[in-house]
Amino acid sequence: MQLQAKVRIEGILRFGTPFHVGSGRPGESLSEMGVLLDPFGRPILPGSTLKGKFRASAEKLAHVMELTACLLDRSLSAVNCIGDEFYRKEKTDEYRALTDSSKKLDWINQNTCHICQLFGSPLQAGRIFFSDGKLIEETWAGTVQTRDGVVIDRDSERARDRLKYDFDVVPTGTEFEIWIEMINPTQQGLALCGAVIHEWQEGTMIGGFTSRGLGRAKLNSIKIEQVNYLDPSKRIAILMGKGWENVGLSLLDNAMNSLIQPLATATNLINRGGNHA
């Protein structure tokens, strides 16, 4: 795939409550759950965790812009998409019969929901990439805290003694710089990003135990830059890594508007028609 444009989103994610992003090491038991730490004992916020949460947020907001989200499960979403395992199997022969690579690409685009087009699916690489969060050292308390938990027996609603467990949390106020990069963004992709970025500005929940109020985070200090590889006047600057221009949130807001405006107009026409009747 030829590189035509890149968009980079940077921001600072601040946790307003403690958070738990588990280390999930093999053999780790329910009775002692650690958080992901680097070799120096500092908390890590993996890009995969950020991507998973960002995708889930986008899935929930897609319908507002009349974009499709298969939820990787056609039985839940009723959206045909190769992200769904059974639909993919059903369509495999059709896909394999295509020989021309541009036809294959067209086929994938026609058989993929907007979420899979942006974040990827088993047949198609995503266009959006998440770096691991970079800890802002001054905000880090220097140590994790341990919390007690008890497993509640759902039938009796009584805590079962033998199922007491401890889990670690990273203290309130910890901040990370985050980076998101989009390759050859589409209007739909930019619009989905815009919706999620605005949601995260208001607040999101990241990691485990969010039902206990952990993992509340807000995204601030957002910076958005773009580089257009097809701009002939800037080619040399771009190849030297100096072609980035600051475009701000309006890049994402305009993309949201371009999708929502036609929908609003259509609704107005329907309403006006109704008034005349």
Interaction site with Zn ion (CB under 5 A) = 70, 81, 83, 113, 116
Shortest distance in whole angstroms from residue 200 CB to Zn ion: 22
Shortest distance in whole angstroms from residue 199 CB to Zn ion: 20
Minimum CB distance to Zn ion smaller for 83 or for 185:
83
Query: Distance between CA atoms of 76 and 84, rounded to whole angstroms?
Result: 10
Minimum CB distance to Zn ion smaller for 13 or for 81:
81
Minimum CB distance to Zn ion smaller for 64 or for 269:
64
Query: Distance between CA atoms of 24 and 239, rounded to whole angstroms?
Result: 40
Query: Distance between CA atoms of 72 and 116, rounded to whole angstroms?
Result: 8
Minimum CB distance to Zn ion smaller for 70 or for 256:
70
Minimum CB distance to Zn ion smaller for 122 or for 262:
122
Query: Distance between CA atoms of 94 and 263, rounded to whole angstroms?
Result: 33
The pair of three-digit structure tokens given for residue 89, joined into one six-digit string: 């199997």
∠ CA 90-94-96, nearest 5°, is: 110
Query: Distance between CA atoms of 49 and 55, rounded to whole angstroms?
Result: 10
Neighbours of 113 (CB within 10 A): 25
Report the DSSP beta bridge partners of residue 128: 182
CB proximity list for 77: less than 8 A, separation 6 or greater:
69, 70, 71, 113
Shortest distance in whole angstroms from residue 193 CB to Zn ion: 17
Query: Which segments within the chain are labelled E, that is strand?
Result: 5-15, 32-33, 128-130, 134-135, 145-152, 159-169, 175-183, 204-205, 216-228, 245-246
Query: Distance between CA atoms of 35 and 25, rounded to whole angstroms?
Result: 10
Minimum CB distance to Zn ion smaller for 113 or for 251:
113
Shortest distance in whole angstroms from residue 46 CB to Zn ion: 23
Shortest distance in whole angstroms from residue 64 CB to Zn ion: 17
Minimum CB distance to Zn ion smaller for 83 or for 194:
83
If you write DSSP's letter for every residue of 202-231 in order, what string do you get? Answer: H-EE-SS-GGGTTTEEEEEEEEEEEEETT-
Neighbours of 11 (CB within 10 A): 20
Shortest distance in whole angstroms from residue 115 CB to Zn ion: 5
Shortest distance in whole angstroms from residue 51 CB to Zn ion: 15
Shortest distance in whole angstroms from residue 145 CB to Zn ion: 39
Minimum CB distance to Zn ion smaller for 87 or for 165:
87
